[in-house]
Chains A and B, each alone.
Chain A
């Protein structure tokens, strides 16, 4: 080309300038290499970790809770598969949008969803937003899955109580572990959203029943879709519990109370086995194990009937004349009276300026201890109490297990009150007044007991002075090994009484039913011994008013404690009817029905625990169901 030659000098110049390009190129490439060395070698491990975090998600596999059976193997609590909504925060790009979507799709409470998603805790673990999704809701979520990054629907086992309200206080209910609980050491291995027992046996035996959560590491792609499972640490189901209650007896006890408030406890005095423990009103643990809105919760807590209160172990009432059983033993053992000592009752007891009435106007005439028990003579026990003094009374009450926990394996058992001068000084900072001894001697005044304590007391009498700790769980079955561990009956203490005392009292208590205040408990089926009690709730003047004229909430509590059969007792019962009036008329018939039911059921003792196959079959959706 002609023109080429013209620029030869410029070409040479250009070619000399190539050195700039060569040096520049090497410099820049060296810089790139340095940067890559920094990224890949110096910070390589850091970025490798980041890439691992990117691709793996931890998924918790909730354990199936252990099953709960009654003494005959009737299922009381199991698990059913249910859909649970989880959100993996790592995959959520826009939290506000997600909250809005979930609120709209499922009609959830916005504040609640926000709380769940913003709660403190590990970002790696998915947050549980809602459990027990309906099939429709689960389908709705799945069909919008592409618009809802990080949202997962998992199948999990949910606690289910086939019996509904039956034995609700005993079984309790479950719920998500609360932030406060999570800070305690016994919940240390749990996480937000874990299900723990919150009441009853579920709570007391939570450690056994809870099981152990597993963890699954899944590999996900950028959209959060599961690609494959990387590591699996299996969940371990909780242990099964075999309770001592007989659900048939339990149902009868509950139906006996009906709509009334009250409690019925039935124990086997020979072992302490709790055969039935009813408290009314009850609740449906299925409802409480669900997530409640604050409003629903307030409704339950503020309910005047206080359905969450287990009246059997937490209700505290004056024992009324039931206290006389203990008083009689105390009077004999302390030599305050002999069996033949008689005291004249003219319907009142004068102490200082005050006249203490007998329940029966006109009095019972001259009575010895046996008659005083049979007719529940107040004046007799006023006199005995006055002679004995409050301190002796208190020490015998403690011997009978009052003022202390029975040791039943339920949370928050109440202990009642055994008054004494020391107690009063401490509790009220006032000196003991002599007149208060007289009230206490018939179980009024400051004396407070729980129905469970009363059942234990009458059981102790029936069992010739040997108290057993109330036993709720007969056996625990380890889910991993299938091994059944029997939990033995635990003798608590033996009364130090002269041997003739308890037989005498038992005979008198049999008389209460045959010829005394509790003739309504007389059964053609079985001999029953018992004691009525009528606990005054308010300091009503003693003027007699017709029962029906008194407003319900001011009426007396009706007590009846009983054991049967008299010669070889196998059941001890305490019945308390709140504001049901007289023990003899209101409570004694209930105890009779219950005892007759028990006799008819003719319980074989001890019942055979069903084999593991049955247990597993009933455990619908146990294991890992993700």
Chain B
């Protein structure tokens, strides 16, 4: 027993594979960002900045990995309160980009609270469910729902549809994993169905023009290649043009000649797909699946409910982002502005994702410690 405890404090093979996978995916991301932005002609181009974010993310990763996740969970409510305040600040003081206010300027950089809100929400919900046995649909569904609601509304107000959907996804996934009686599930479904028209009206009404156009363009991107469906179509062209083996590094005309917008952020997957083709894409999908598979192992061996819930929340968030991002670039979903975890350029997202993965590994690290 003692040696296993000691062993768990060390750096084992599992950790090595897990961290290795993370950095391989990060590396692929940097390469793709480099490919699109290498000729930017500025002193500090995106790929260089992304490396800085990865370094900062590594620190966040180490902090989250090496602390005690129980202690982290205890900070959940205050942290959630702070995030709510920051989300409110964004609405008034934030920096806007393309019709949305998402960033709080911090010197030369900008900080995106909605990214961090996702992680904080996961910790908060995990903390909530594990603190005491939550029984009955009021405790299981409504109360956490009320916890989610202010954050969700503030994020939608920005508006940041992508983060809002991630928020909902985290909530739904945690609910599902905590388990619900069939009766409670039925009530939720019924309410959802009844509320759907109103919710749709509210959602649709609260969307900005560009968001509506993007969703409309999803239906038929070829309808207006120069206009609303432009992103979706150019992204599909980029991916499709990669064919089996891709056009090679820097060979992607769609991204190199800037037909594909946002090639370094939301559409980094399209850049990768154009340059490396279907084979590259398959390899990347396998990397992501393996990472998530290892994460699921951590849940399966979690020693307590808090750990398991934290891990599940983080996995669900990652899965959601990966699937929705690739799905939207491939034209399966509307374009909602969700970055590809570990690959898209972005300080807040990179740091948050790495912190989350650190916390995930933390759950594994603590699984055999008894004290």
A interface list, Cβ under 8 A from B: 1, 3-4, 6-7, 10-11, 13-15, 17-18, 20-22, 25-26, 28-29, 31-33, 35-37, 39-41, 43-48, 50-52, 54-55, 93, 219-223, 227
Closest beta carbon of chain B to A581's beta carbon, Å? 69
CB distance from B188 to the nearest CB of A (A): 17
Of all chain B residues, which has the CB nearest A50?
B237
Q: How far is A35 from B316 in the complex, measured between Cα atoms in Å?
A: 21
Are B176 and A17 neighbours in the complex by a CB distance under 8 Å?
yes
B189 within 8 A of A: no
**7 A-B residue contacts at CB 8 Å?**
A7-B130, A21-B296, A32-B327, A35-B331, A39-B240, A39-B330, A47-B237
Report A24 CB to chain B, min CB distance, Å: 8
**Which residues of chain B have C-beta atoms less than 8 A from A17's C-beta?**
176-177, 179
Contacting pair B244 A40 (CB below 8 A): yes
Q: How far is the CA of A33 from the CA of B280 in the complex (A)?
A: 11
A15 with B302: CB separation less than 8 A: yes
Q: Is the CB of B244 within 8 A of A3?
A: no
Interface centre among A4, A6, A14, A32 (most CB of B within 10 A): A14
| Given A17-B177, A51-B238: A41 and B296 interface contact (C-beta under 8 Å) | no
Return A231 CB to nearest CB of chain B, in Å. 15
Contact B259 A33 (CB under 8 A): no
Measured CB to CB, the closest approach of chain B to A45, in angstroms, equals 7
A40 touches B312 (CB 8 A): no
CB closest chain-B residue, reference A46: B240
Assuming the A-B contacts A32-B285, A36-B330, A48-B243, are A21 and B312 also in contact, with contact meaning beta carbons closer than 8 angstroms in the complex? yes
Alpha-carbon distance A223/B292, docked complex (angstroms)? 40
Nearest CB in chain B: distance from A177 CB, A: 29
Contact A51 B253 (CB under 8 A): yes
Q: Are B292 and A44 in contact (CB under 8 A)?
A: no
Does B55 sit within 8 A of A, measured CB to CB? no
Bits for B45-70, please: 1 = Cβ < 8 Å to A, else 0. 00000000000000000000000001
* A223 B258 Cβ-Cβ under 8 A: yes
A51 to chain B, nearest CB (A): 4
Answer yes or no: B351 CB below 8 A from chain A CBs: no
Whether B304 contacts A44 by the Cβ 8 Å rule is no
Contact of A222 among B236, B257, B288 (CB under 8 A): B257
Decide yes or no whether B352 CB sits under 8 A from chain A.
Answer: no
Report the 10 A-B pairs with minimum CB-CB distance, sorted nearest first: A47-B240, A44-B243, A4-B304, A51-B241, A222-B258, A221-B257, A40-B278, A7-B305, A39-B240, A48-B241
A1 to B305, CA, bound (A): 11
Contact B254 A41 (CB under 8 A): no
Closest A-chain residue to B258, C-beta based? A222
Measured in the bound complex, the distance between the Cα atoms of B242 and A31 in whole Å is 19
Chain B contacts for A32, CB-based, 8 A:
285, 323, 326-327, 330, 332
Judge whether B132 is part of the interface by a CB distance below 8 angstroms.
yes
CB nearest neighbor in A for B256: A221
Chain B residues, CB < 8 A from A40:
239-240, 242-244, 273, 277-278, 281
> Can you name 12 extra interface pairs (CB under 8 A) apart from A36-B281, A43-B240?
A4-B303, A18-B312, A33-B281, A36-B278, A39-B331, A40-B239, A40-B240, A40-B281, A44-B242, A44-B278, A46-B240, A222-B257
Q: How large is the interface on B (under 10, 10 to 19, 20 to 34, 35 or more residues)?
A: 35 or more
Residue pair A44, B257 in contact (C-beta under 8 Å): no
Instruction: Determine which residue in A7, A36, A41, A93 has the highest number of CB atoms from chain B within 10 A of its CB, and name it.
Output: A36
Cβ-neighbour of B236 out of A4, A10, A13, A47 (below 8 A): A47
A-B contacts counted at CB < 8 A amount to: 158
CB distance from A76 to the nearest CB of B (A): 46
**B28 on interface, CB distance cutoff 8 Å:** no
Identity of the chain B residue whose Cβ is nearest the Cβ of A4 in the assembled complex: B304
- CB of B299 within 8 A of CB of A15, answer yes
Partner of B282, one of A10, A20, A33: A33
Distance from B220 Cβ to chain A, minimum over Cβ atoms (Å)? 16
- Minimum CB distance partner of A55 in chain B: B253
What is the predominant secondary structure among interface residues of chain A facing chain B? helix
Nearest-Cβ distance from residue A622 to partner chain B, whole angstroms: 33
Collect the chain A residues with CB atoms within 8 Å of residue B253's CB: 51-52, 54-55, 219
Q: Are B299 and A18 in contact, CB atoms less than 8 angstroms apart?
A: yes
Residues of chain A within 8 A of B244, CB atoms compared: 40-41, 44
Q: A17-B177, A93-B226 are in contact. Are A45 and B304 (CB under 8 A)?
A: no
- Quick check: is B122 within 8 A (CB to CB) of the other chain? no
Q: Are B330 and A3 in contact (CB under 8 A)?
A: no
Q: Complex formed: what's the CA distance from A29 to B242 in Å?
A: 19
Q: Given the interface contacts A1-B70, A10-B179, A227-B257, does A54 sit within 8 Å of B237 by beta carbon?
A: yes
Q: Which A residues are in CB contact (< 8 Å) with B277?
A: 40
- Which one of B70, B242, B300, B327 contacts A15 once the chains associate, using CB atoms below 8 Å? B300
Question: Does chain A have a CB within 8 A of B91?
Answer: no
B residues in contact with A6, CB < 8 Å = 133
**B271 CB–A CB distance under 8 Å:** no
Docked Cα-Cα span, A35 to B178, in Å, equals 32
- In the complex, which residue of chain A has the Cβ closest to the Cβ of B284? A36
Query: What separation, in Å, do the CA atoms of A50 and B351 have in the docked complex?
Result: 37
Given known A35-B332, A40-B278, contact A11–B305 (CB-CB < 8 A): yes
**B304 is contacted by which of A7, A13, A33 (Cβ under 8 Å)?**
A7
Chain A nearest CB from B189 CB (Å) reads 17
CB distance from B258 to the nearest CB of A (A): 4
B325 CB to closest chain A CB, in angstroms?
10
Confirm or deny: B24 has a beta carbon within 8 angstroms of a beta carbon on chain A. Answer: no
Assuming the A-B contacts A15-B308, A32-B330, A44-B244, are A39 and B236 also in contact, with contact meaning beta carbons closer than 8 angstroms in the complex?
Answer: yes
- Contact, CB under 8 Å: B273 / A14: no
Judge if B363 is at the interface, Cβ distance under 8 Å. Answer: no
A45:B300 contact, CB within 8 angstroms: no
Q: Is B156 an interface residue (CB 8 A)?
A: no
How many Å lie between the Cα of A26 and that of B281 in the bound state?
16
B9 at the interface (CB under 8 A from A): no
> Is B132 a contact partner of A3 (Cβ separation < 8 A)?
yes
Q: Are B308 and A11 in contact (CB under 8 A)?
A: yes
Given contacts A36-B278, A36-B281, A219-B257, contact A14 B296 (CB under 8 A): no
A44 to B132, CA, bound (A): 54
Complex alpha-carbon distance, A93 and B226, angstroms: 6
Distance in angstroms between the alpha carbons of A93 and B316 in the assembled complex: 41
Query: A15, A31, A52 — which one has the most chain B CB atoms within 10 A of its CB?
Result: A15
Q: Give the contacting residue for A14; candidates B178, B259, B327; CB below 8 A.
A: B178
Residues of B277-326 at the interface with A, using a CB-CB cut-off of 8 Å, are 277-278, 281-282, 285, 288-289, 292-293, 296, 299-300, 302-306, 308-309, 312, 315-316, 319, 323, 326
- Determine the distance from Cα of A29 to Cα of B288 in the docked complex, in whole angstroms: 10
A36 CA to B286 CA in the complex, in Å? 14
Instruction: Tell me if B131 is interfacial: C-beta within 8 Å of chain A.
Output: yes
Interface residues of B in 178-192 (CB under 8 A from A): 178-179
Cross-chain contact B236 with A41 (CB below 8 angstroms): no
B309:A39 contact, CB within 8 angstroms: no
User: Is B227 located at the chain interface by the 8 A CB criterion?
Assistant: yes
Give the distance to chain B from A5, nearest Cβ to Cβ, in Å.
8
Is A29 within 8 A of B285, CB to CB?
yes
> Is the pair B305, A29 in contact by a Cβ cutoff of 8 Å?
no
A14 near B236: Cβ-Cβ < 8 Å = no
Instruction: Please give the distance in Å from B306's CB to the nearest CB on chain A.
Output: 7
Q: Give CA–CA (A52, B259) in the complex, Å.
A: 11
**Is B176 touching A20 in the complex (CB atoms < 8 A)?**
yes
- How many angstroms between the C-alpha atoms of A331 and B236 in the bound complex? 89
Residues of B within 8 A of A22 (CB): 293, 296
Q: What is the minimal beta-carbon distance from A73 to any residue of chain B, in angstroms? A: 50
